[in-house]
Structure 1
Amino acid sequence: MAYSAEKTASELPNRPQKFTCEKHANKILGALNSIRKKRHFCDGWVLIDGAEIPVQKGILAAASHYFRLVFDKENDCSNSPDSTSSSADNRPGVVDLSPLQITAETFEIILDYLYTSEIVVDEDNIQNILQAADLLLLVELKQACCEYLLKCITAQNCLGIMDFASRFNCSWVHLKSTQYLENNFRDISYYGEFLQLPVELLIPLLSMDTLQVRSEEDILYSILRWVMHDEEKRKSHLPDLISNCLRVQLLYKDSVNKLPDLYPDIHSLRVIEMIQDKLKNGTGVTERSRGIINLLMCAGGDTRVIHNPEECSGVRRDAYCFYIPYNSTKPGGHWLELPSMTQFRCSHSLVETGGCLYAVGGKDIEDRILTTGEKFDPRANQWTTISQMHHARFGFGLVAIDDNIYAIGGSNDVREPTTSMEVYNIFSNKWAPLPDMNLKRVWSAYAVVDKKIYVIAGGMVGKLYESVECFDTSTNTWASVCPMRERRCDARATACRGNIYVFGGFRRYECPSAMHGGNNIKFCGTEIYNTALDSWQQVPRQHEFLCRMTDASQIFSVVKNGEEIWVIGDLEMDGRFECIRAYNVFSRSWRTVSVSGPPNCRGYPCCMLHIPKHLIDLMVKDK
């Protein structure tokens, strides 16, 4: 930068300044892309099935750990006095990719991507590109391919994507395609991928407890469709399929008698006799029901009333799910006890992802701030520990985006909050640091929209915030967005249809008359944030039907359940307290879900979790 001659010395900067050109990186990449077509600018070659593709070694090594290792090894060998060149056809800088079965066309597409950061994937090339990205250790490209696959899952290709994801270690795609199979089994069973499954894969699939079926007849009919797809070769497998997969006690009584009407040639397969034999031999044995139920779950928190004087702490570790019977017409349900956590926790956070519940941080019975975490797998019906966070924290945020869990802010001592943030991957079981927030915050509200994390309000000792920060997980950067209308701490938030709903929280009255009256704590009203418009809307007090707006109310958790938002806590309603109130985002109306909460608990975090139906049946029976 040049300064005009008229400026005096006092007007000039008195310290060095840093300048950044945002276009520089793209300009350099563009120039490298244009000159790579000229061979005298290239210092290496890639061989694929006889084709020789000129490359720039530095670019390949910077983009791909695979090429970096190859070229490092080549350099080490060339510097060794007693070794010969290990490069392909004994020329330095030559890499033969033919053994990896990557086509020249696929490599050219990837090479263009390395220089331009742009690539077009479709159903014709996705398999080749993902396979090559996996072999060449191109992590970002592989992730982009996985995101494309997630958008492509249908009943026709679900099983193929499951198999493909398993072969190339796309763990999140495999998990999501498995969940799609569980929820859409009946539709999938009509398509070619299912009908062409080998029997060794069909039996474990049809044995799954979590298949969502209207009735066990869906399993029976899928077995018959599979057998009749190649009857001569497959009819010998029928006894094993009926014995290992079909839960005959769950069939309707008249369904077997109706089989000849649906399948006129059924008698030749002796299916009816096999089912009747299994019914006779299985007398007294109860078969598990299939399916999963999405239920509200809580874990840990504080004890409402300590009955035992010897207890020095009210911190809990028990866990419950809230179950409403199918035919229930009145508010209320059953709090069913699940296995307890491995550790006592309060002021901690819960989140669900990948079909499991994660409990992290908080304080234990000795008031120690925790770095530990654990997860509950509803299929195994047990808690197991996970790796520890880098920072102990309580009163912090815990949100999940795909297979990553983000721990944000909170406090790691009793005096001052932290700005730190870290991320946990459910498959690697490792935490990694991320850029810090701009403000130190504790007891903020948190929500996720379009893979962006919003940290809302909160505060520190002596100061509350209305400010909102947004973390973009695609760029790992923080930005400030429109602040709330009313500052607060200890609020709760959730996202629904692109909007963020913030409920409750507390702040001090700023009116001197209210402070002198002894009631100086205000329970804050609901605000709604429109992420597209970057604006907040405050719900008028006369339309606030969540609860009475007094400091006697406290919100423990807010969760999205379908098209409703459930608010859980101590909610004062005209002389009594309710536990769960539901807000319908379409009708903008409230209803009572449950008056009572889990026994003798308060301050417990909640989230929704899919739990196998047979486990619920067992708990209801025991209760």
Structure 2
Amino acid sequence: MSLPNELRLRQQLCDTVIRVGGGEFYAHKVVLCKCSPYFRALFSHWSTPDCVTFDISGVSTSLMCLIIEFAYTGFVPLTRQNAQDFFIAADRYNIPGLLQVCSDFLEKHLSPLNCLHIWMLTDVFYHPKLREKALLYALSHFEEVVVNCADFLLLSAQQLVQIIESDLLIVNKEETVYEAVLKWIAYAPEERKESSSLLFSKIRLAWMSPKYLIENVKESELVKTSPECRAILFQTLNPILDHLRKTSYKSSICPSLAKPRVAPALLLAIGGWSDGSPTSLIEAFDARTDGWVEVAYTTETLRAYHGAVFLNGSVYCVGGFDGVEQYSAVHRLDLASHAWQEVSPLHASRCFVSVTVMNGHIYALGGFNGHERLKTAERYEPRSNQWTMISSMHEQRSDASCTALNDRLYVCGGFNGVQCLATAECYNPHTDQWTLISIMSSRRSGVSVAAYANHIFAVGGFDGVSRLNTAEAYNPSTNTWCNVPSMPTARSNFGIAVMDDHLFVVGGFGGITTIPNVEFYDIKTNTWFAASDMKISRSALSCCVVNALNNTADYASRLNPQRCRSPSEEEEEMEQ
């Protein structure tokens, strides 16, 4: 305990008494002055030098007790229940240190239930950083906020406009924004209907399904009773219908009719082999703009033949090869702070490693340690920052690929040091046992595997003779494989990820050279489509999808002014 605080508690050498309600607090003016310009002005400008006792209103006795303790100790016992009261008091009595502590606490504990209240609170008690963080949180969790936050219905029209006109508003479908506006208006229809056209003009109607626009929006009371809303709708609807009549419905890109919002999810392509050497480049793909953007926060090491996964707001790069050394190192990129950190290494060096996430753990399977192909496997626990060995696979597998589905881990194909493999295995984490499943129709080394539409898809690879464009899907319920349409481009050692209900394949090796091209499979149409190429050609990369970020805009593409529409959406709508 500091000497000033000890003297305060003993009421020694105190030169002021702060009275609040029925309580009296003995203190030292110099300590309170150092803590707050308010107290300095109170003691030196708003009273005579001989004044000792000061009556302060507008604050509870218990709160003032803790404020004075903070002045002496720099500590305050904040909770979710009292943090806002302390924040208001810190603002009112100009206590910068306490204001910062409260702001940090409120920011850390933002949730869909409280973010709007904290945002509106900063309208009255000015704190721009907290205001920005609360708004960004609300924009990033808009769908949860609309459903669960009582304060949503209490927003003013201008506050709601500020939210729904933002490019940073993250929604899976623009229909969500429209329905949120209807919900807000319905809360007080008579007084809010005059704001309907202003709000309607901020909805990005061109990003809605034409079928929804015709059947739901066009027939709504909002549009029927408002000439302004009706005019806005037809200004958007007519060009959309004209586009659908004139273009090829299998084209994935159409001219932009509205500026896209930040996507709910982005696909990251990380590292790989390019121009004869490994690269540290990370690119982010936004399906809504069909655009790639180079991420400034490149990997700390040149890395290829590695694994990359997204878990708890961070990307983990596992194992790999730099052209000389096989890595056991694991690095973590915190996507919020953009900071890289080295975490616990693997028990074995592993390039050509298979990596995936299941139930909050990272799994690293097989690979090559520079001497032999591995059948060993290990699991990472982020909370303890520890890798633990699990049961070994039945076969040595490098250049295989794995994924998780329904609480099971699947690994397919690879190379055992002698031949490319058609075998596949399933891991049960509850029994720590591997089980061989039906073999694939093709040997596949450099294969990519993903869980998609409740099946395990094994795509491309090398069969020992040539690169493959074929794909097949495993049904865990029947333990059978079936063929699915082939990719347009044969490739091995490429990235794979599922995003926006599509299966994306990225880059790879085509047999002669690395390739930059990207394709995606739409199970609704049973067809492959082309997407924009990466900025560089590379193989041996790893892909993962990131979502639920408060700073998605840091990684999103703003370069492509065109809109990427789902081919299945266009075809489905035209068939209606």
Query: TM over 0.5, yes or no?
Result: yes
- Distance in 2, Cα, partners of 1:337 & 1:461: 45
Tell whether the 8 Å contact from 1:465 to 1:489 is kept in structure 2 after alignment: yes
Deviation per CA, 1:343-395, whole angstroms, max 9, x where unpaired?
xxxxxxxxxx9722222221212x12212322223455331232232221111
Over 3 Å counting, the alpha-carbon distance change for 1:98 and 1:505 in structure 2 is farther
Match of 1:273 among 222, 227, 234: 227
Deviation per CA, 1:11-55, whole angstroms, max 9, x where unpaired?
xxxxxxxxxxxxxxxxxxxxxxxxxxxxxxx336779xxx979xx
Counting only pairs closer than 5 Å after superposition, residues 216-615 of structure 1 correspond to structure 2 as: 222-245=180-203, 247=205, 253=214, 259=220, 271-278=225-232, 284-286=238-240, 355-365=265-275, 367-380=276-289, 381-414=291-324, 416-508=325-417, 520-521=418-419, 523=421, 525-533=423-431, 535-539=432-436, 543-545=437-439, 547-548=440-441, 552-561=443-452, 563-570=454-461, 579-585=470-476, 587-590=477-480, 592=482, 594-610=484-500, 615=564
Partner of 1:329: none
- Distance in 1, Cα, partners of 2:570 & 2:410: 37
Greater RCO structure (CA 8 Å; 6+ sep): 2
Over 3 Å counting, the alpha-carbon distance change for 1:505 and 1:430 in structure 2 is same
Tell whether the 8 Å contact from 1:335 to 1:598 is kept in structure 2 after alignment: no
Over 3 Å counting, the alpha-carbon distance change for 1:212 and 1:507 in structure 2 is closer
Aligned-CA RMSD value: 5.4
- 1:596 partner amino acid: S
Over 3 Å counting, the alpha-carbon distance change for 1:203 and 1:287 in structure 2 is farther
Tell whether the 8 Å contact from 2:87 to 2:102 is kept in structure 1 after alignment: no
Q: Aligned with 1:465: secondary structure? A: strand
Deviation at 1:237, TM superposition (A): 1.5
Tell whether the 8 Å contact from 2:399 to 2:415 is kept in structure 1 after alignment: yes
Over 3 Å counting, the alpha-carbon distance change for 1:439 and 1:125 in structure 2 is farther
Partner of 2:565: 616
- 2:497 partner amino acid: C
Q: Aligned with 2:302: secondary structure? A: coil
- Distance in 2, Cα, partners of 1:106 & 1:161: 21
Tell whether the 8 Å contact from 2:363 to 2:379 is kept in structure 1 after alignment: yes
Deviation per CA, 1:189-222, whole angstroms, max 9, x where unpaired?
6974332222233235445796455x95x76665
Deviation at 1:607, TM superposition (A): 0.9
Partner of 2:142: 181
Deviation at 1:609, TM superposition (A): 2.2
Over 3 Å counting, the alpha-carbon distance change for 1:611 and 1:477 in structure 2 is same
Counting only pairs closer than 5 Å after superposition, residues 13-92 of structure 1 correspond to structure 2 as: 42-43=1-2, 89-90=29-30
Structure 2 regions of 5+ residues with no counterpart?
A: 11-26, 39-58, 70-74, 89-96, 123-127, 244-248, 255-262, 503-561, 572-576
Q: Aligned with 2:402: secondary structure? A: strand
Tell whether the 8 Å contact from 2:420 to 2:444 is kept in structure 1 after alignment: no
Q: Aligned with 1:523: secondary structure? A: coil
Tell whether the 8 Å contact from 1:375 to 1:386 is kept in structure 2 after alignment: no
- Distance in 1, Cα, partners of 2:65 & 2:293: 48
Over 3 Å counting, the alpha-carbon distance change for 1:120 and 1:441 in structure 2 is farther
Tell whether the 8 Å contact from 1:581 to 1:590 is kept in structure 2 after alignment: no
Over 3 Å counting, the alpha-carbon distance change for 1:89 and 1:450 in structure 2 is farther
Deviation at 1:127, TM superposition (A): 7.0
Over 3 Å counting, the alpha-carbon distance change for 1:370 and 1:91 in structure 2 is same
Over 3 Å counting, the alpha-carbon distance change for 1:219 and 1:178 in structure 2 is closer
Deviation per CA, 1:519-568, whole angstroms, max 9, x where unpaired?
x42516322223333x12222xxx505x23x6x43353222335333222
Over 3 Å counting, the alpha-carbon distance change for 1:104 and 1:580 in structure 2 is farther
- 2:485 partner amino acid: V
Deviation per CA, 1:278-321, whole angstroms, max 9, x where unpaired?
456567533999xxxxxxxxxxxxxxxxxxxxxxxxxxxxxxxx
Tell whether the 8 Å contact from 2:213 to 2:237 is kept in structure 1 after alignment: no
Tell whether the 8 Å contact from 1:442 to 1:460 is kept in structure 2 after alignment: yes
Deviation at 1:494, TM superposition (A): 1.8
- Distance in 1, Cα, partners of 2:159 & 2:352: 48
- Distance in 1, Cα, partners of 2:194 & 2:288: 32
Tell whether the 8 Å contact from 2:218 to 2:233 is kept in structure 1 after alignment: no
- What is the count of residue pairs matched by the alignment? 436
Partner of 2:156: 198
- Distance in 2, Cα, partners of 1:443 & 1:125: 52
Deviation per CA, 1:108-147, whole angstroms, max 9, x where unpaired?
9xxxxx9xxxx998x75687899999944999x999x65x
Tell whether the 8 Å contact from 1:506 to 1:524 is kept in structure 2 after alignment: no
Over 3 Å counting, the alpha-carbon distance change for 1:486 and 1:283 in structure 2 is closer
- Distance in 2, Cα, partners of 1:107 & 1:506: 69
Over 3 Å counting, the alpha-carbon distance change for 1:490 and 1:89 in structure 2 is farther
Q: Aligned with 1:567: secondary structure? A: strand
Tell whether the 8 Å contact from 1:356 to 1:377 is kept in structure 2 after alignment: yes
Partner of 1:322: none
- 1:582 partner amino acid: A
Counting only pairs closer than 5 Å after superposition, residues 161-172 of structure 1 correspond to structure 2 as: 168=130
Deviation at 1:270, TM superposition (A): 7.2
- 1:399 partner amino acid: V
Deviation per CA, 1:561-601, whole angstroms, max 9, x where unpaired?
353332222488xx99663333344x244454732114354
- Distance in 2, Cα, partners of 1:470 & 1:257: 53
Q: Aligned with 2:298: secondary structure? A: coil
- 1:241 partner amino acid: L
Over 3 Å counting, the alpha-carbon distance change for 1:199 and 1:360 in structure 2 is same
- 2:303 partner amino acid: R
- Distance in 2, Cα, partners of 1:411 & 1:89: 64
Deviation at 1:451, TM superposition (A): 3.2
Over 3 Å counting, the alpha-carbon distance change for 1:538 and 1:283 in structure 2 is closer
Tell whether the 8 Å contact from 2:197 to 2:229 is kept in structure 1 after alignment: no
Over 3 Å counting, the alpha-carbon distance change for 1:463 and 1:377 in structure 2 is same
Deviation at 1:505, TM superposition (A): 1.7
Q: Aligned with 1:457: secondary structure? A: strand
Over 3 Å counting, the alpha-carbon distance change for 1:553 and 1:493 in structure 2 is closer
- 1:286 partner amino acid: I
The percent identity for this pair of structures is: 18
